[in-house]
Structure formats: structure tokens, C-alpha cells
Structure 1
Amino acid sequence: MAINELKNKKIHLIGVSGAEGSSLALFLIKLGCQNLIGHDFSNRAEFKKNYLLYHSEQSKDKSFQQINKIKKGLKVINYKNSYLKNIKDAEIIFAPYSWRRYPVNRPLKNLRKNQLFWHWYNLLLEYYQGALIGVTGTAGKGTTTGLIYSILKAAKKKVWLVGDSWQMMDFYQILTSGKPSFVVAELSNRALTFAEYSKKSPHLAVITNITKNHLDDHSGSFKKYIAAKKAIAKYQKPDDFLILNSLDFQTRQLKNFAKSKKIFYSAQSREKKLIKNKMIRGSHFTSDAAAAIKTAKILKISKTAIIKGLNGFKSRAGRMQFIKKFNKISFINDAASTRPEATMAAVKTFARGKVNLILEGYRHQPDKQQFLKLAKVINSCGVKNIAVSGRITKFLLPILQQTKARVFSTHNLAESVEKMCQNSRAGDFILLSPACESFGEFKDYRERMEKFNQIIKKISHGPKIKN
């Protein structure tokens, strides 16, 4: 189907107040589509508020302009009480990758079997004419994606970064740019479940690692989760590249998977000497940098540009993000670390005996062995204090109390920050790295990230320091 054929299709868009849904709506409106129906499970009064929340990285004026364009360009928006109305009439349904997380979307499970069920990933697979670089992995995909983007920018290439569900994407500009250009896409296991509708893969695919995570999205099956990750390369051709972590057991098993050329990298690569950036600390982040370097070399990017891109890299919001320093105490926002493995990697990046850790949230069917591993890292890295809140508390407390750290059970994130401030010393780090999903106190990790930042801003005179 040619891109212009979309203009006359009956297209339904799920979640138009979100960054993914609004990006798609604005693209399809600009393309000239005439039969667009929006759906959003907020009510009419909440829609504007939710839109501002999900687009907090841009100005309110810009958001208001977009809201007006969306309301004018769509035939109708079906809000809470009429959500998914006439969805069976759709020829194409565009859904965000998180659609299956919400019970209200259960009717879509049957529709996706018989109708064209797309995500923005399908737009790139079907219509993007440049070089598509896809990055997935249980951990490290966000950092690796950002590093590749930074290197290509340093090489003065025309490049777009897509993938964060909170990030607006200008698909009209991307899809009309032509060659030569690049898109670097961060692809979750949920996004990759849409690959079957296009049966295509990126020219360059990177898999950083595969470990047990998000199994509730795949009926509790690790095998199905692995299959979702492998979908990034399933449809590659002989002139494509699959870039794999040689130190990860599951990615090593893919050496004969798909028709593409296999390229391996590791954190032990000699190329790590190129990294001078303090933001890329620890083996976990060095591994991500090695993946980015290998990708850049395949694209024939100069060594000068690679070094410039690596050392100019800045972490994305909620990913080992330095927020502020008060009275010689540094606050680090790593709210996007929703797994124990990611929190382990975060803790390891700091000097021994300097971390005050905040854990928070909820985990469906938590893996005790993974949290026991986290406890070992907490001990080996000399974590001083831990504050834990949320529905995970009852499960975590017995494990954390076996560590050498002082453990505080709190009622919420604000109280956790207060406890850590009261028990920190000059030179310490207060690290929010939850190791759990945010469902419970917050809608998602982004709301948790924003709340942490707001709490820090309210500390007008800095935390009390213990000498």
C-alpha cells in the first residue's frame, strides 16, 4: 500500500492524548487523511490535562496548538464513555505499544487478528526511505540508541531519534526526507510485536541483551518474550546487519538467526579507550557504547566523529539523569530503571559507600532471585541507606533487611527523599532507581520521574548534611 493510499482509509487512532497517538494524528492530518477517528480513555474534561502531562517536554503553547489541530483534523474523538466506539469499522487501527497493558483495550485483542493493526514502527518499516537503525534489548536500548544518535549528529548526518513513548515524533518530516538520512529507533518488546503486520526489519538491528522481563506481556513465557525481541531481525535480508552482544547468553544464540550479517561487540572491547565521558561509567554503559561504536563503524563514520559523539552524549530524562547538587549532595533520577538488573547497573556506576538508594513501585510476579542479586550488589557497593515505598514494600523488606544498608519503609516517594536527605553526607548521591514498575502511586515511570524532580526543586535550602 502506497503512503498516499492512507488518505482514503478509515483509520482509528488509540490514545490521541499521548505522545505516540498525537504524533500519528498530526502526521495523518498533514498527509491529508479524511477519515480519522480518535479514541482516548480520558474524559473530555481531562483530555487537555492529560495531553499537557504527556507532552511536558514542550511548551504549553505548542501543546495547545497541537490539541486544536487534532480536534479540527479528526472527525471525532471518542472519549471515556464512548471509547472504542465503532472500532470494528476501521480499516487500519494505530495503537501505542502499551495498549495491551490496559483492561479497557481488551476488545482490540480480537480485532488485531482480522484488521491491519499498526504502530508508528510500521510506518517506518513501510515508508521510510533512509537507513533505519533499530535497537532493542532488555537493558541498555535507550542509552545505546542515544549514543548512536549522538555519533551520527557529530558526523553531521541528517538523523532522527524515535522510540520513547513520551517523545513527540515528526513523521511527516521523517517520511518525506528521502535519502540520505537515518532514523535511530528504540524498540521495546511491545513495539516489536507489530512487526508481523509489515514483515520487514531495520537495515541495522542491535540487540543489547535478553533477560527475563515483561513476561506478563507474553503470558508469562520467556520463550515468547525472546521471540518478540528476535522479531527485530526476523525479516532482515543478506545485505542487512544484526549487531549482537557477545557477552550475553541469549544474544550469542542468534549467530545463525535470520539472513543478515552478524556482528558481535562487547564491553571488553579495546575501543572503550575512546570513551572519556563521565556519563558512561560501569561495564553496563561501556557495553552500550561498544554497540554504538560498532554500529558507527558499519556506517563508515569517522573515528573523530565517534569520539565527539561519545563524549558529547547526555543521558535522557529519567535515565541516570543528574538533576542537581545541594550542599554537596547529588540527586540522580534513574526513574526509567524498572528492573532489578538496571538498578544494579546504576548502583555500580558510583563510588563505594556513596549511594543512598530509593526503591519504589510495583512488580507483577517479582523474581526473588533477581532481587537477591540486587541485595548482593547493594552490599558489594556499600550502599548506605535504602528507602522503599509502594506495593513492592512487603515483598522487598525481608530481602533488603539482610543487607548491611539501613532500610526505611516509607509511605511515598516524597517521604523517601526526605529520609535519604536526613541520612546523607557531603559527597553522597541520592539515587532514584526504582527496580520496579510505577503502577500504583503513579501512572507510569514518566510521572514518577517528574514527581521526583518536583520534590527536589522544593528543597530550597538543600538537604540537612550529617558530618
Structure 2
Amino acid sequence: MTKKDFKNKKITIMGLGLHGGGVGSARFFAQAGAKVLVTDIKSEDELRPSLVKLKDLNIKYALGQHRPEDFRNTDMIIKNPGVPQSSKYLAMAKENKVPIYTDIEIFLNLCKAPIIAITGTKGKSTTASLIYTILKKEYENIILAGNIRISVLSKLKNIKKNYLIILELSSSQLEDLGKTEIHPHTTIITNIFPDHIDRHKTLENYIKAKSKIFKNQDKGDFLILNYDNKLTRKLFKQAKARIRFFSLKVEKIKGAHVLGKNIVWGRDKEFICPKSAVNLLGRHNLYNALAAITCAKIYKIKNKNIKKALKSFKSLDGRLEFIREINKVKYYNDTCATQPDAVIAALKSFKQPIVLIAGGSNKDLDFRGLAQRLTKGVRLLILLPGDGSDKIRRLLQKQEVKIMQVENMKQAVLVAHQSSEPGDIVLLSPGCASFSRFKHEFDRGRKFEKSVERL
């Protein structure tokens, strides 16, 4: 496959979306000379932020609907990862023998540079960004893209063989790979917890999708795993690559781990930096740092540069992101916590009493562990609308947890402001999906921030 193969081909982009992937795909194929049609069930108004970025290109649109003819009378479908494989429109394409690809598959077919691939339930974006920040200290030609809201196809024209690609991948993107093989030189799996069961149906299917990331690696490659996460640790049995672990609990491993107040490397316990160099809140972020350090050591980055990068790194948007302090109450945006274990990790990051804004749409996840944790240190639980909130409330019926149900984010922030006391933390950490009430989790986070700014 080459870029020239797309010239004059009719290509249907299924799902423009608002995260950049659809825009990147549409622009890539239009500039390659293809006849591009973008179809999305969202309306023109909903998609305006993305449409504005494509106004200079000759692209046709079918918005607010999907039309059967756009899937039958075309040369290729480029599917957004958010579209389930069970879609009746994809079935129409298959019946008419129309090939279906994703932007990641096109990228993997065209990219000749070595890849560092990152996946996991939580911590993917932070770990990928940390690796980029650290490696950038010594590697000039390095690119970060993928599930981190940076379109892979938008970066393709700048990539040469001597570049290094840091690619974040979700379970949906990996599941959609089909016959396309991914062969990263280095793979990192941050952790695995039950998530996206509404899509994958079972935990086993979810793990199977995640495992695609290392299946084509060989003994010349590296697979970095979280030793302390049982579901991740046991994946080493399926691997052909060389294994490197990272851990907060175990010392005798080939990889980065913690020894007292320091981060060290390998069984020889080579000093890398003090734990305090990690400029991020929470134990879960220490794991992310260890994963990134393990990768950095494979690429022979000097310890002093690892330390500098860690100290300069700031939390990403929507991940335990400090917003402001009002009357000695600190407000944090953790909107990317879309499953229960992520909320538990956020709660463990603070010693102060917490006013927690949580809830939303359920993804067929188990909230029992979170319900138990909510009995410790949570002054008030404010629940946003959604079936996930209903599930949490039912689990807490017999517990002494003060709960307030609200109708929207503005009301949630106002109640949190009125109920908090000096020294408290107000934390948005939903543990649920954002669909139905918000455009996406970042829209949810922005609405939280705007409401806090208006206080």
C-alpha cells in the first residue's frame, strides 16, 4: 500500500467525531487525491469544530445520518474506532466486498519508522506523553500520536525511517486491526482492569484486544509490563519479546522499581532519581513514571535527562488536573477517570476530606469496590445523572455516605462549593462514561472547569 493508491478512489470516512482522528483521515485522503465523503450521525452543528478545520478541502458530507449507498458504492471505508464492528452499515459494506480500514491500519501500512506502542486501561496518555518528554531530551526525530487526540495520519508526511514513533492505542483501535499486523520494537501495557465491557462483552475479549499489541513481537523486541497488576503480569507467558517489568512492590526485576525514597533500575539497583522527581499526584502516576523510565532505559537515555524530564512534566488535561483554590478548597478535574478503579486511584491520592462529583453512564462495570472505598474520606458524594449513578446509589443504600443527586455539572459544582470546608478537595472523578449528557469526557471536564471559574 502506498499513498498513490488512494488517488481518484471513492473513500467513505465513517465518523468525523470531535477528537481529531476523523479530521486527520479526511484531510489525508483528500490531499492524496481521493474522492472523500464524510458521514456521521451527529449534526452539522455538533460537528462544527471539526468541520471548520476541513473547509479548505473538496469533501462531501452526509451528516445527521448514514446512507446505505455511501457504504455500498465506494472503494473503501475508513471506520472511526468508536463505531462498533456490529454496525449494520459496515455489514452492508462487507456484503458488497468493500474493504474496511481504520486510520491506524493505514498508518501501520505506510509508516516505515520503528514504533513504541502503549496501551492499558488507565495511564496510557500520561505514560505516552512522559516517554515522549523523556526521549525528546536525546532523540530529535520523535513523534507522538494515536489515541492521545493526535491524528496518526496528520503526522505521516513528516515521518522518515530514522524517526521514532510513540503510538498510544486503545482497546477499540487494537480490536479493529483485523488482518493488519502491528510490530512495535517496544510495547508498554500500563495495567488492565475491567473496562469497556459494553463493547467487548467480556473481560476475556477486552484482554484479547489489548494483547494484539505484542502478538507480532519477536526476541529482538521489548515488552514492558506492570508486575503489580495481576492481569498484566501474566501476559508475559504469551510473549516472544524480551520482558521488562516495573513495580512499586518488587525489587528483583529487570526494570524500574522503587527502593525506599528512590527510583532504581534493575537487579543491581542503579540509582535513577528520587521519587520526589515525579511531579504528579498519586500512586498511579508513580506507576506511569516507572513504565516511562523502563522504556527510557531501553533507549539508553541518561539518568540526568530522565530526572529533568520528570521534574518538568505537568499533568495532562482532565487527569487529576489542578484547576484553582477558593477559600482554601482545591478543585481538581479528573474527568478521564471513566471506570471505578481510576476513581479509587484518585481518592487515594489525597489525605484531605473529599467532596466527590461522580457518576454518569454505565459501561457494564462492577462498582462494588468503588462503593466500599467511598465510605472512607468522602465528605459528600454528588452524583451526575445516568444509569451508572443509579448503580452506585443502590450499592450505597446501607452505607453512611452522604449523597446528593444533581441535574447538571453547574449544579454539581455549586453544591460542592456550598458543602466544602477549608482544607477540603473538590474532585470531579466520574468513574463512568460521559455519553448522553456531554459530547465526550473532555467536554464534561471543560464544563466542570467553567463552572469552577464562575464561583
Q: TM-score, normalised by structure 2?
A: 0.88
Relative to 1, partners in 2 of residues 1:223 and 1:80: Cα closer, same or farther, differing over 3 Å? Answer: same
Q: Does 1:385 align with 2:380?
A: yes
Match of 1:129, SS?
A: coil
Alignment CA distance shift 1:182-1:400 (3 Å): farther
Q: C-alpha displacement at 1:251, in angstroms?
A: 1.8
Once the two structures are overlaid, the 10-residue window that deviates more, 417-426 or 271-280, is 271-280
Structure 2 CA distance for aligned equivalents of residues 17 and 230 of structure 1: 26
Q: 1:99 aligned to 51, 60, 83, which one?
A: 83
Q: Does 1:163 align with 2:146?
A: yes
C-alpha distance in 1 between matches for 2:198 and 2:332: 29
Q: Which amino acid aligns with 1:99?
A: V
Q: Contact 1:17/1:51 (CA < 8 Å) preserved in 2?
A: no
Cα–Cα, structure 1 residues 284 and 8, in superposed 2: closer, same or farther, change >3 Å? same
Q: 1:126 Cα shift?
A: 1.4
Query: Superposition RMSD on alpha carbons, in Å?
Result: 2.4
Write the distance in 2 (CA, Å) between the matches of 1:90 and 1:237: 37
1:143 aligns with 2:142: no
What amino acid maps onto 2:440 in structure 1?
D
Q: 1:421 to 1:297 in 2, by over 3 A?
A: same
Offset, 1:397 = 1.8
Cα distance in 1 between the residues matched to 2:117 and 2:413: 36
Please state how far the C-alpha of 1:322 moved relative to its aligned partner: 1.2
* C-alpha distance after superposition, 1:101-120 (max 9, x if no partner): 9x9x4321463585432222
- Sequence identity (%): 29
Contact persistence 1:238–1:261 (CA under 8 A): yes
Structure-to-structure mapping, 1:201-212, within 5 angstroms: 201-212=183-194
SS of the counterpart of 1:291? helix
Please tell me whether the aligned partners of residues 267 and 284 of structure 1 are also in contact (alpha carbons under 8 angstroms).
Answer: no
For residues 276-295 of structure 1, what are the structure 2 equivalents within 5 Å? 276-277=276-277, 279-295=279-295
Distance 1:172 1:361 in 2: 33
Secondary structure of the residue aligned to 2:193 is coil
Distance verdict in 2 for CA 1:355–1:109, change over 3 Å: farther
Q: Hey, which of these two has a bigger chunk of helix by percent?
A: 1
Instruction: Kindly indicate whether the alpha-carbon contact (under 8 Å) linking 1:26 and 1:69 is maintained by their aligned counterparts in 2.
Output: no
Q: Could you say which residue in structure 1 is the equivalent of 2:195? A: 213
In 2 relative to 1, CA 278–199 (structure 1 residues): closer, same or farther, beyond 3 Å?
closer
Q: 2:427 corresponds to which letter in structure 1?
A: L
Gaps of 5+ in 2: 250-256, 265-272
Residue 444 (structure 1) shift:
2.1
- 1:411 is the counterpart of 2:421: no
Which residue number corresponds to residue 267 of structure 2? none
Q: Provide closer, same or farther for how the CA distance between residues 199 and 179 of structure 1 changes in structure 2, counting only shifts above 3 A.
A: closer
Q: Which deviates further from its counterpart, 88-97 or 338-347? A: 88-97
Q: Does 1:128 find its partner at 2:111?
A: yes
The correspondence of residues 286-305 of structure 1 with structure 2, limited to 5 A, is: 286-305=286-305
Cα gap change, 1:401/1:277 in structure 2, threshold over 3 Å: closer, same or farther? farther
Q: Is the 8 A contact 1:318 1:336 kept in 2?
A: yes
How many residues of Structure 1 are paired with residues of Structure 2 in the alignment? 433
Instruction: Using the TM superposition, give the Cα deviation of residue 148 of structure 1 relative to its aligned residue in structure 2, in angstroms.
Output: 1.0
Deviation of 1:8 after TM superposition, in Å, equals: 4.1
Shift of residue 7 of structure 1? 2.4
Aligned to 1:463: none
2:424 corresponding residue in structure 1:
428
SS in 2 for 1:133: strand
Secondary structure, counterpart of 1:198 in structure 2: coil
Structure 1 residues 420 and 81: alpha-carbon distance in aligned structure 2, compared to 1, 3 A threshold: closer
Instruction: Tell me the CA shift for residue 172 of structure 1.
Output: 4.7
Kept after mapping to 2: 8 A contact 1:359/1:433? yes
Q: CA deviation at 1:280?
A: 2.5
Aligned equivalents of 1:14, 1:41: Cα separation in 2: 9
**1:244 equivalent in structure 2:** 225
Q: CA deviation at 1:228?
A: 0.3
TM-score (norm 1): 0.86
- In structure 1, stretches of 5+ residues that fail to align are 56-62, 460-467
Preserved CA contact (<8 Å) 2:6 2:34:
no
Give the Cα separation in 2 of the matches to 1:415 and 1:390. Answer: 11
One-letter amino acid matched to 2:411:
E
